Structure 1
Amino acid sequence: MGLTQTQPLSKMNILKMVKTKENEKLYTHFNITNSIYKC
């Protein structure tokens, strides 16, 4: 994956990433992660 680990992903960046069904799975994962860590 081409995700940058040096800076936190904002919801806008994730939304821009979600273009395909494959990325929707990633978006769901990030939603769960955000709920846990509450950035």
Structure 2
Amino acid sequence: MMETFLPLGVEAEYNSIKGFLLKFLNYLFWGLDFYPF
């Protein structure tokens, strides 16, 4: 799967991963009734 991201550049790959992690953490925080971000 990394091979498909490499042509897009490291920065684009990092941004996509960061966006996914933020959405995942946001889902966890809402599910556990923590502070919403």
Do they fold alike, i.e. is TM over 0.5? no
- Kindly indicate which of the two structures has a greater share of residues assigned to helix: 2
Instruction: Report 1 or 2 for greater relative contact order, CA contacts < 8 Å, sequence distance ≥ 6.
Output: 1
Q: Indicate the TM-score class for this superposition, using the shorter chain for normalisation.
A: 0.3 to 0.5
